[in-house]
Amino acid sequence: MPLPLSRRRLLVASGAGLVLAGLTDPFRAAPARAAVTTADLVVYGATSGGLAAAITMRRLGRTAVVVEPTGHVGGLSTAGLGATDTGVQASIGGLAAEFYRRVYVRYHGGTLTPTSPLRMTFEPHVATDVFAEMLAEAGVPVVVDARLAGLGRTGNRITELRTEDGSIYRGGVFVDATYEGDLLAMAGVGFTVGRESNDTYGETINGVQSRNTHQFAYPVDPYVTAGSPASGLLPGISATPLAPQGSGDDRIQAYCFRMCLTQAANRIPFGKPSGYDPVRYELLLRHIQAGYTGPYFTTHSVGGGKTDSNNNGAVSTDNIGFNYAYPTASWATRESIIAEHRTYQQGLMWFLANDPRLPASVRDSTARWGLPVDEFTGTGGWPPMLYIREARRMISAYVMTEADCRGRVRATDSVGLASYTMDSHNCQRVVVDGKVRNEGDVQIGVPAPYPVSYRAIVPHQAQCANLLVPVCLSASHIAYGSIRMEPVFMILGQAAATAASLALAGNLAVQAVSVPALQTRLRQDGAVLEWGSTSEVILDNASTSGITRAGTWLRSTSSGGYYGPDYEHDGNVGKGVNRLRFRPTLPTAGSWTVQLRWTAHSNRATNVPVDIAYAGGLITRTVDQRQAGGQWVALGTYPFTAGSDGSVLIRTEDTDGFVVADAVRFVRA
């Protein structure tokens, strides 16, 4: 007997909305799920990378089906992560760039063209609509609520997936696009979980990392009864002594929900969740009582008066230490972990908005925020998916490492570029000298976009000859921290499907696909595979030439995400006197995109004037340094002459907070 529609849905993308099981769904329900579905490409996981793979396969003239274990389509791109972590925007090409161009058109109108700007911030429902549109145009079926139960194999090839409801999905090539890597594990592909030691791959920032970002700014007692070790540790604090710097372990970076918040009058107030336990927030209370004044979560604007709100500070939305079992757990255990994270984070917001022990200023500022009534309507405005920042990572013939990120080695079989900061959230809380301390947060910039190896998205052939893994790819913990961004997952999803099509055409193992042929087709479809030395010029505040200063500038490393060894700030004094100018030496005349980088904090200025002097002109742009920290922010594309005639001047006149000068990048258009 077929399952009822409320539990079993075969979805085909459509622009039309449908009320289904209480949800406004941007997908149209299709006839009952077939017992056996056959396609050239079977994608397990409707993440952004999985959708990109399926759409690409259809555009290449082949069939594809997406099988998603949950009820959510689009991964984190549609689940609250609307302030996209990008690194160098110009390194995003192909289908990923098209997605962000479509987002731009949704907000700004006009006709979609290959030269339309990319918009990297968006409301969740906008991302959902854009994916629905792309899936509809390609004719991609998406099956939801279909958890993997088993595989069929012949030798080193997968022949079919079997889901818990008894359905079968047969294909020539398979893609594991889940955040967890469940398909690769079931297929017998090698993987790891946790942090390698620095010695494993000759790295410097892997393993245990005791640093000062998202750290306790004031001493906080870790014990249930302050000053009494006999009373035990507060929840989430490890009793294991801090291991040596750079040593490996099985810890993974913390998870959270990426909240979409609003200050609209009809917002949904933060509710007190069932199972609320005030002891979970004792650390934060003590930190505030010690003098900490915030921020307690981010409020990155994404449009429509809404935010993408993420972890910020020593105790925030990250539920540190409660996710270690998740990557390899059963679905029942995962659901309990997800529920625990939801209770923690909803309780955190209620605590900040209501607990009478907190200063009124904290309660009032938090209560001004709430959940939007028009996002995530099926879950009361709460995000439907936990942010799985890291789970299994495949081990294949090429492991992406810190050396790739820093440009010390360059894979020759590039299938796309990554460029974001090597970023890990905290992995554990420990006791050091009788006080609580977070451990694991790393935010180290990369000098330039770098190639991701094709070998890093395919397993060893002996393990599986027809599987590609664009999400849980082969990378060390710290390299994965840079690669694990939604645009890169889409880039690698497109590459995986293109390779799958070539493998089917030649009756080849995916490992035997001609890389030059693959790269040729990817370039034809708009992918960016290389980043040459003449394509960019970067000036850091610590550069020995090309920097001039007026007034007093102070060097600092207190806020993470900076480029190079540090950044500078004006001390929030000397307004109008303090100025810093970047004057690059450009190798060729032509159009160059100017990108600025800073570290964000609530004490930064929202109105920093930046003068860009270019060939024949001068333009002033204003940047908000409380937002978009730790990434390259494009300020426009302008004509420049070769040499050092152009410049970028950071001014401080009438600014309403600290002004940061970190680095500027010129990218050849």
pLDDT digits (tens, 9 = 90+) for 609-620: 999 999 989 999
pLDDT digits (tens, 9 = 90+) for 3-33: 222 233 444 433 222 222 223 344 433 435 5
Confirm if 319 and 256 have CB atoms less than 8 A apart.
yes
- Which two structure tokens, joined as six digits, stand for 545? 């030439």
Residue 193's pLDDT is what?
98
Residue 4's pLDDT is what?
28
* Residues 464, 466, 469: CA angle, nearest 5 degrees: 80
Residue 33's pLDDT is what?
57
**What torsion do the CA atoms of 663, 666, 667, 669 make, to the nearest 10 degrees?**
150
Distance CA 284, CA 290 (A): 10
- Which two structure tokens, joined as six digits, stand for 382? 């709460």
Structural domains present in the chain? 36-193+454-525 (3.50.50.60), 536-668 (2.60.120.260)
- Which two structure tokens, joined as six digits, stand for 213? 């970002």
Q: What is the mean pLDDT of the chain?
A: 93
pLDDT digits (tens, 9 = 90+) for 508-564: 999 999 999 999 999 999 999 988 655 778 899 988 789 999 999 999 988 888 888
Distance CA 510, CA 172 (A): 11
DSSP characters over 509-542: -GGGS-HHHHHHHHHHTT------GGGEEEEETT
pLDDT digits (tens, 9 = 90+) for 61-97: 999 999 999 999 999 999 999 999 988 898 999 999 9
- Closest Cα to residue 409, out of 450, 448, 446, 447? 450
Residue 20's pLDDT is what?
26
What average pLDDT does range 168-178 have in this prediction? Answer: 98
Q: Which range among 498-502, 557-561, 628-632 shows the weakest confidence by mean pLDDT?
A: 557-561
Neighbours of 5 (CB within 10 A): 13
- Closest Cα to residue 123, out of 94, 67, 73, 82? 82
Contacts of 532 (CB under 8 A, 6+ apart): none
Residue 558's pLDDT is what?
85
pLDDT digits (tens, 9 = 90+) for 396-405: 999 999 999 9
Across 569-602, b (16+ Cβ under 10 Å) vs e yields bbebeebeebbbbbbbebeeeeebbbbbbbbbbe
Confirm if 472 and 388 have CB atoms less than 8 A apart.
no
Classify 279 as helix, strand or coil: helix
- According to DSSP, the residues that pair with 532 across neighbouring strands are none
In the structure, what pLDDT confidence band is assigned to residue 115 with cuts at 50, 70 and 90?
confident
What's at 556, amino acid-wise?
A: S
- Closest Cα to residue 457, out of 443, 467, 465? 467
What phi and psi values does residue 66 have, to the nearest 5 degrees?
Answer: -110, 130
Classify 340 as helix, strand or coil: helix
More confident position, 18 or 227: 227
Q: Percent of the chain scored above 90 by pLDDT? A: 86
Does an H or E element contain 500, and which? helix 486-506
Residue 480's pLDDT is what?
98
- Which two structure tokens, joined as six digits, stand for 363? 């309660």
Residue 669's pLDDT is what?
81
Residue 534's pLDDT is what?
58
- Closest Cα to residue 160, out of 39, 12, 328? 39
User: Could you give the C-alpha distances from 240 to 156, 169, 220, 430, 442, in angstroms and in order?
Assistant: 42, 45, 18, 7, 21
Residue 565's pLDDT is what?
82
- According to DSSP, the residues that pair with 295 across neighbouring strands are none
Across 95-128, b (16+ Cβ under 10 Å) vs e yields bbbbbbbbbbbbeeeeeeeeebebbbbbbbbbbb
Distance CA 458, CA 437 (A): 39
What average pLDDT does range 230-242 have in this prediction? Answer: 96
With helix as H, strand as E and coil as C, how does 569-607 read?
A: ECCCCCCCCCEEEECCCECCCEEEEEEEECCCCCCECCC
Distance CA 423, CA 40 (A): 36
- According to DSSP, the residues that pair with 171 across neighbouring strands are 39
What's at 73, amino acid-wise?
A: V
- According to DSSP, the residues that pair with 612 across neighbouring strands are 619, 648
- Closest Cα to residue 59, out of 438, 522, 503, 429? 522
DSSP characters over 195-225: B--HHHHT-SS-S----STT--SS----BSS
What average pLDDT does range 589-603 have in this prediction? Answer: 93
What phi and psi values does residue 183 have, to the nearest 5 degrees?
Answer: -70, -45
Q: Percent of the chain scored above 70 by pLDDT? A: 94
416 CB-side CA count, 13 A: 34
Distance CA 528, CA 522 (A): 8
526 burial level (CB within 10 Å; 0-12, 13-18, 19+): middle
- Closest Cα to residue 427, out of 173, 253, 269? 253
DSSP characters over 345-356: HHHHHHHHHH-T
Residue 300's pLDDT is what?
95
